[in-house]
Amino acid sequence: MRFLSPGFLFALLTIAIPVIIHLFNFRKFKKVYFSNVRFLKNVQIQTSSRQHLKDRLILATRILGISFLVFAFARPYIPVAEQQNALQRDVLSIFIDNSYSMEAVNKEGTLLDEAKRRAREIASAYSLNDKFQLLTNDFGGKYQRLMSFEEFQTAVEEVSISSANRKLDQIISRQKDVFLKEPNSRKTLYLISDFQKNMLSTSAIEADSTVITRLIRLNSNSQPNISIDSVWFNTAIHRPGDSHKLMVRLRNNSDEEAVNIPVKMRVNTIQKAIGSMSIKPRSTATDTLTFSGLQSGWQEAELEITDFPVVFDDKFYFSFYVQPSLSLLIINGGAENEYLNSVYRSDQFFKVVNVAAGNINYSGLGDYPMIILNEVAAISDGLGQQLNNYIRRGGSLIVFPELENNQSDLRKFLSSAGTDVPDQVLTAENKVSIINLDHPVFLGVFDNVPKQIDLPVAKKYIRYSTQSNTNRQTLLEMPGKISFFSQYRLGSGKIYLSAVPLSQETSNFARHSVFVPIMYQTALLSLRNQNLFYKLNREQQIELPKTSLNSNQTLKLKNEKFEAIPDLRQNENFSQLYIADQIKEAGNYQLLKNDSLMAVLSFNEAGSESDMSYATDEQLKALFPQQKIEILNTEPGSLTNAVKSINQGTSLWKVCLILALAFFAAEIFLIRFYKKTQIKPLNN
């Protein structure tokens, strides 16, 4: 047996106190006179003997009680077998959780401050010759090495709150990497965290018998929290001066109802809408904020709630583009179509360009979100190839066929695009019988749909073959499953096929009430819907329109406090922006090409830190089914002695404390209940 704090053994000198008291009993005796004491002689001898036994027992309990109390402070232990190799060096990897949840407070201050203090205490339990690694959620390169004790203490002071958060299996895997260069050392992992449930891995962690794993749990005060879950618009298109409706969803992460949580929204630092929401426990609530008065261009928006004391998730950033206009290209096989011109030129938002089929600028096709083929009979191989590339890159194409000539060119083009192809031209009058109101084209078009709705009539039309390998979505359909107007997807874009051209002789489609909303909605849906926001700390690729850089051009992603050069990679149909982990803080960031604004990208926290629910010891142990781990719940005082005690072997201080209390209790029992024999008077 050895002692962790042998200095306390000097307190054994206090054993002399009860011994001195026993040897020098300063009790004053009272004289009692008897006429004859001859008959009391035997009784006096017997009583004196019992009194001496009692005194000796009391002395023994006092000595043993004091001795075991001193032993308890000296912290005795039985050394473990591994300690026979005393020259073997210890290598430690200490993880400090610096995620947002560590901003929570307890009586020690913030959890991060306590975690840093605990890390220093753990390191102090080892010798100066041992090696230490510090790891945080950032997985920073400067920490991917072993440090001396002094370097470790300095590095701990530099740890600060980060938006990053990791799973337990990722943390432990990264910690074990540092041990590869130290095969002959004693290896120990320490994880200091509040152990939120979002840290739990989805699968069990592989056991490693060469590594000791210890979890240090930090406990915070119970804190209710409301977070912003998501935002979205009820429409993808934004036009100058329009009224916009933003849907806001808040999440209540506590077990108490949240009442009248204030919500504010700012666009370009100007407050545009306010509201308040009430949310039931452990649920979400959605509300609508309406605002208007926006100019064209990129809009940097910020949503904010008031929720104390947890405030790291009270702001939510998003951005969107207010389209100044929408350019449309109409490729005409003959004369311009009056119906198309009328439907689009009645709204200044649409900018219509009409060109003849033989006078097309192929290099400028990408400038138009939507192209309309208006009765083009001759589709050359070059035009067909260019249109295919245009659609794959995200463009939209509407085809109004020409019925007087052979459809061989149209058939060849549509076959290469993977859609249904013209089968034959029919002249028997037919009427649309089915309208697909679930399609996005009809979203918000009808308030009430009558049972006997009037639908277009076709007098002369194309019947398309129904290929089984297409991704057709029918908008309007005639009896016999004959498509009147359908949509197909190709790459990132869409193709719309009409069975009729826009002439009075073939159908009444151009004059029908459904024509205007179909043409409007297909045009609006042709605009690329960019994400309102992205999540931080994720390997992600942001899709952009095809972007090329000259030798003297660079892309920059910046805001007031940050600037980075992202990686731009080219795809066949679009460009991809690789962010990796460059963005560390939530906010709105401008994407610049030299000094020209290309886009505004918004980044927010993943949201998992907002739920202040913590894993139980059983849940943590379940992740290590084949390995015994040690979970240390922090108590007042230093961890240094506790770690030393665990490292040294089986701790006996609790046994010593119990024995000390037992002997002190025995002393009290002897004093109170051990009675000497009563002297009975003699009868003459």
Tokens describing residue 52: 């001496």
Q: Is residue 61 part of a domain?
A: yes
Q: Is residue 217 part of a domain?
A: no
Rounded Cα distance, 657 and 667, in Å: 16
At 27 the pLDDT is: 52
Rounded Cα distance, 673 and 295, in Å: 95
Q: Which whole number is the average pLDDT over 408-412? A: 93
Q: Is residue 602 part of a domain?
A: no
Quick one: 371 and 420 in the same domain? yes
- The CA angle 142-145-147, to the nearest 5 degrees, is 100
Domain end: 306, 323, 340, which one? Answer: 323
**How far is the CA of 301 from the CAs of 150, 272, 559, 583, 674, in angstroms?**
46, 10, 14, 18, 84
The pTM assigned to this predicted structure is 0.74
Rounded Cα distance, 160 and 113, in Å: 9
Q: Is residue 221 part of a domain?
A: no
Q: Which whole number is the average pLDDT over 106-123? A: 90
Domain that residue 401 falls in: 326-525
pLDDT band at 202 (very low <50, low <70, confident <90, very high): confident
Quick one: 59 and 97 in the same domain? no
Quick one: 93 and 146 in the same domain? yes
Are 96 and 119 spatial neighbours (Cβ–Cβ below 8 Å)? Answer: yes
Q: Which whole number is the average pLDDT over 308-328? A: 91
At 295 the pLDDT is: 92
Rounded Cα distance, 389 and 383, in Å: 10
At 231 the pLDDT is: 95
Q: Is residue 682 part of a domain?
A: no
Q: Is 109 left (phi over 0), alpha (psi -120 to 50) or beta?
A: left
Quick one: 314 and 455 in the same domain? no
Radius of gyration of the chain from its Cα atoms, rounded to whole angstroms: 41
pLDDT band at 684 (very low <50, low <70, confident <90, very high): very low
Q: Which segments within 153-269 are labelled E, that is strand? A: 186-193, 211-217, 226-233, 244-252, 258-267
At 352 the pLDDT is: 95
At 58 the pLDDT is: 83
**Is residue 629 exposed (0-12), middle (13-18) or buried (19+ Cβ within 10 Å)?**
middle
At 429 the pLDDT is: 93
Domain of residue 189, CATH code: 3.40.50.410
Q: Which whole number is the average pLDDT over 495-499? A: 96
At 595 the pLDDT is: 84
Quick one: 344 and 294 in the same domain? no
At 545 the pLDDT is: 77
Domain end: 465, 499, 525, which one? Answer: 525
- pLDDT of residue 84 exceeding 50, the answer is no
Q: Is residue 681 part of a domain?
A: no
Q: Which helix (H) or strand (E) holds 151?
A: helix 149-157
Q: Is residue 680 part of a domain?
A: no
Quote the number of domains for the chain. 5
- pLDDT of residue 405 exceeding 70, the answer is yes
Quick one: 372 and 316 in the same domain? no
Quick one: 200 and 342 in the same domain? no
Spatial strand order in the sheet of 186-193: 131-135, 90-96, 186-193, 211-217, 630-633
At 333 the pLDDT is: 92
Euclidean distance between the first and final Cα of the chain, in Å? 65
Bond before 79 cis per omega within 30 degrees: no
Q: Tokens 């490729």 — which residue?
A: 331
At 73 the pLDDT is: 86
Sign (positive or negative) of CA dihedral 514, 519, 522, 523: negative
- pLDDT of residue 25 exceeding 80, the answer is no
Region of poorest pLDDT, from 160-164, 219-223, 623-627: 219-223
- pLDDT of residue 650 exceeding 70, the answer is no
Domain end: 494, 525, 556, which one? Answer: 525
Quick one: 478 and 333 in the same domain? yes
Region of poorest pLDDT, from 214-223, 492-501, 546-555: 546-555
The percent of residues in the chain predicted with pLDDT above 70, rounded, is: 91
Q: What is the pLDDT of residues 415-456, one digit of tens each?
A: 999 999 999 999 999 999 999 988 989 887 776 766 777 899
- The CA angle 377-381-386, to the nearest 5 degrees, is 100
Q: Which helix (H) or strand (E) holds 356?
A: strand 350-356
Rounded Cα distance, 277 and 286, in Å: 8
Quick one: 538 and 517 in the same domain? no
pLDDT band at 681 (very low <50, low <70, confident <90, very high): low
pLDDT band at 553 (very low <50, low <70, confident <90, very high): confident
Q: Which whole number is the average pLDDT over 242-247? A: 93
Q: Which whole number is the average pLDDT over 482-509? A: 94
Quick one: 455 and 545 in the same domain? no
Are 623 and 204 spatial neighbours (Cβ–Cβ below 8 Å)? Answer: yes
Q: What is the pLDDT of residues 133-163, one digit of tens each?
A: 999 998 888 888 899 999 999 999 999 998 8
Please count the helices (runs of H) and the strands (runs of E) in the chain.
12, 37
At 485 the pLDDT is: 97
Sign (positive or negative) of CA dihedral 376, 382, 384, 387: negative
- pLDDT of residue 573 exceeding 60, the answer is yes
Quick one: 203 and 153 in the same domain? yes
At 129 the pLDDT is: 87
Quick one: 469 and 507 in the same domain? yes
pLDDT band at 36 (very low <50, low <70, confident <90, very high): low
Q: Over the chain, what is the mean pLDDT? A: 86
Region of poorest pLDDT, from 21-35, 125-139, 325-339, 393-407: 21-35
Q: Is residue 499 part of a domain?
A: yes
At 2 the pLDDT is: 72
Domain of residue 462, CATH code: 3.40.50.880
